[in-house]
Amino acid sequence: MPRRRGRTPANLIWMISMLKRIAVADLRIGMYIQEFCGSWMDHPFWKSKFLLDSPQDLRRIQASSISELWIDVSKGLDVEAGAVARSEAEAQKEVEATLMAAVQPRSPAPSAPMDLELERAAKLCARSKQAVISMFSDARMGKALDFEQAESLVAEISDSVMRHPNALISLARLKHADEYTYMHSVAVCALMIALARQLGLGEGVVREAGLAGLLHDVGKMAIDHDVLNKPGKLSDAEFSAVRRHPEAGGEILRAGRQVSALVLDVCLHHHEKVDGSGYPHGLQGEQISLFARMGAVCDVYDAITSNRPYKAGWDPAESIRKMAEWKGHFDEAVFQAFVKAVGIYPVGALVRLESGRLAVVLEQNAKSLLVPKVKAFFLAKSRVQIPPVVIDLSKPTAQDRIVGRESAAAWGFEHLDELWSGMPQQRPRR
Q: How confident is the model at residue 313 (pLDDT cuts 50, 70, 90)?
A: confident
Cα–Cα nearest to 323, from 347, 296, 350, 349: 296
pLDDT at 9 over 50: no
pLDDT at 71 over 70: yes
Q: How confident is the model at residue 422 (pLDDT cuts 50, 70, 90)?
A: confident
Angle CA 318–322–328, to nearest 5: 160
- For residues 205-233, give the mean pLDDT: 91
- Which pLDDT score is estimated for 17? 62
Q: Residue 237 burial (CB < 10 Å; 0-12/13-18/19+)? A: exposed
pLDDT at 233 over 80: no
Between 101 and 106, name the one with better pLDDT: 101
- Which pLDDT score is estimated for 336? 95
List CB contacts of 141: < 8 A, sequence separation 6 or more: none
- For residues 237-247, give the mean pLDDT: 92
Domains of the chain by range and CATH? 9-91 (no CATH), 114-342 (1.10.3210.10), 350-421 (no CATH)
Distance CA(342)–CA(333), nearest Å, equals 15
Distance CA(247)–CA(420), nearest Å, equals 38
Mean pLDDT, all residues of the chain: 89
Task: Give the pLDDT confidence of 345-398 residue by residue, as tens digits.
Answer: 999 999 999 999 999 999 999 889 999 999 999 999 999 999 999 999 999 999
pLDDT at 209 over 50: yes
- pTM of this prediction? 0.89
- Which pLDDT score is estimated for 428? 45
Residue 276: C-alpha distances to residues 45, 211, 286, 327 (Å): 22, 26, 11, 12
Angle CA 337–339–342, to nearest 5: 110
- Which pLDDT score is estimated for 14? 42
Task: Give the pLDDT confidence of 278-307 residue by residue, as tens digits.
Answer: 999 999 999 999 999 999 999 999 999 998
Cα–Cα nearest to 216, from 139, 275, 329, 319: 139
Cross-strand pairs, 390: 375
- Which pLDDT score is estimated for 2? 39
Task: Give the pLDDT confidence of 114-137 residue by residue, as tens digits.
Answer: 999 999 999 999 999 999 999 999
pLDDT at 429 over 70: no
Give yes or no for a contact between 272 and 243, defined as CB atoms under 8 angstroms apart. Answer: no
- Which pLDDT score is estimated for 95? 86
- Which pLDDT score is estimated for 7? 41
> For a pLDDT cut of 70, what percent of the chain falls above it?
94
Distance CA(169)–CA(346), nearest Å, equals 10
- Which pLDDT score is estimated for 194? 96
Give the range among 186-190, 219-223, 384-388, 425-429 with minimum mean pLDDT: 425-429
Question: Which phi-psi region, left, alpha or beta, contains residue 365 (left: φ > 0; alpha: ψ -120 to 50)?
Answer: beta
Angle CA 382–385–390, to nearest 5: 120
Distance CA(201)–CA(215), nearest Å, equals 20
Amino acid letter for position 212: A
pLDDT at 267 over 90: yes
- Which pLDDT score is estimated for 348? 95
Task: Give the pLDDT confidence of 10-29 residue by residue, as tens digits.
Answer: 444 444 468 999 999 999 99
List CB contacts of 138: < 8 A, sequence separation 6 or more: 144, 145, 146
Cα–Cα nearest to 214, from 249, 244, 239: 249
pLDDT at 6 over 50: no
Q: What is the CA radius of gyration of the chain?
A: 21
> For a pLDDT cut of 90, what percent of the chain falls above it?
64
Distance CA(107)–CA(104), nearest Å, equals 9
Cross-sheet strand order for the sheet of 32-36: 50-51, 32-36, 68-72, 19-23, 85-87
**Three-class secondary structure assignment of the chain:** CCCCCCCCHHHHHHHHHCEEEEEHHHCCCCCEEEEECCCCCCCCCCCCCEECCCHHHHHHHHHCCCCEEEEECCCCCCCCCCCCEEEHHHHHHHHHHHHHCCCCCCCCCCCCCHHHHHHHHHHHHHHHHHHHHHHHHHHHCCCCCCHHHHHHHHHHHHHHHHHCHHHHHHHHCCCCHHHHHHHHHHHHHHHHHHHHHHCCCCHHHHHHHHHHHHHCCHHHHHCCHHHHCCCCCCCHHHHHHHHCHHHHHHHHHHHHCCCCHHHHHHHHHCCCCCCCCCCCCCCCHHHCCHHHHHHHHHHHHHHHHCCECCECCCCHHHHHHHHHHCCCCCCHHHHHHHHHHHCCCCCCCEEEECCCEEEEEEECCCCCCCCCEEEEEEECCCCEEEEEEEEECCCHHHCCCEEEECCHHHHCCCCHHHHHHCCCCCCCCC
- For residues 310-334, give the mean pLDDT: 91
Cα–Cα nearest to 315, from 358, 275, 276: 358
